[in-house]
Amino acid sequence: MSLKTPEQSRTIMTDLVLPSETNPINNLFGGELLARMDRAASIAARRHSRRIVVTASVNHVAFNRAIPLGSVVTVEAKVSRAFKSSMEIYIDVWIEDRESGEKTKANEAIYTFVAVDETGRPVRIEEIQPVTELEKERYKGALRRKQLSLVLAGKMKADDATELKALFN
Ligand SMILES: CC(C)(COP(=O)(O)OP(=O)(O)OC[C@H]1O[C@@H](n2cnc3c(N)ncnc32)[C@H](O)[C@@H]1OP(=O)(O)O)[C@@H](O)C(=O)NCCC(=O)NCCS
């Protein structure tokens, strides 16, 4: 049986920025974007694993561009790599120009989800097979990012993070 691909987990959520979701300078509130990304990522993780999934870690968020009130925001999430029970989800955020319809990348983030059973215990999931060049690049970097996240969380010794250390040598 062939492995699942990142594309099979792709989740796209498009919504407006309303006044109640903005900061005092009328841009999207960071916590609102984190929540939108968490929702899209959890659906992507569920589509890959077909299990209950929980957010284990927010590994990286870059708020590169402010997102003004009234913007149409598209959050696109895909599983970039699946490990034993955990999955890395890569999230790209786009805003759409009202007149031209052109999409501009505004932000990106990387979340880790874990598939669990009804009692919350981690369960084994399927592997994933990247197809496009971008998927392959993200797949490759995911092990390093997992190690960094575990080291920062105090769940792995820096000495054991072989792939992460190799980056600095
Ligand atoms: C996420 C959770 C299930 C992990 O449980 P745990 O006891 O640490 O389980 P394990 O040590 O077996 O880890 C399970 C997997 O998560 C990964 N993991 C755990 N913490 C991680 C972190 N901070 N960063 C990256 N991966 C992490 C482990 O590497 C392991 O991956 P693998 O099985 O693919 O190799 C548990 O911590 C939990 O339930 N947390 C609360 C989740 C939640 O409620 N989220 C919403 C927040 S409001």
pLDDT (tens digit per residue) in 48-99 = 999 999 999 999 998 989 999 999 999 999 999 999 999 999 999 999 988 8
Residue to probe by mutation, ligand 1, list 86, 126, 147, most atoms within 8 Å of CB: 86
pLDDT in tens, 105-157: 999 999 999 999 999 999 999 999 999 999 999 999 999 999 999 999 999 99
Buried/exposed 34-55: b ≥16 CB within 10 Å, e otherwise: eebbbebbbbbbbbbbebebee
Q: Name, in order, each residue with C-beta under 8 angstroms of 11's C-beta and a sequence gap of 6 or more.
A: 40, 41, 43, 44, 47, 76, 77, 78
Cα(56) to centroid(ligand 1), Å: 5
Cα(143) to centroid(ligand 1), Å: 15
Average pLDDT, the chain: 96
Residue to probe by mutation, ligand 1, list 59, 80, 114, 144, most atoms within 8 Å of CB: 114
Domains and their CATH numbers in the chain: 6-128 (3.10.129.10)
Asked if 55 contacts 111 with a C-beta cutoff of 8 angstroms, the reply is yes
Q: How far apart are CA 110 and CA 38, in angstroms?
A: 10
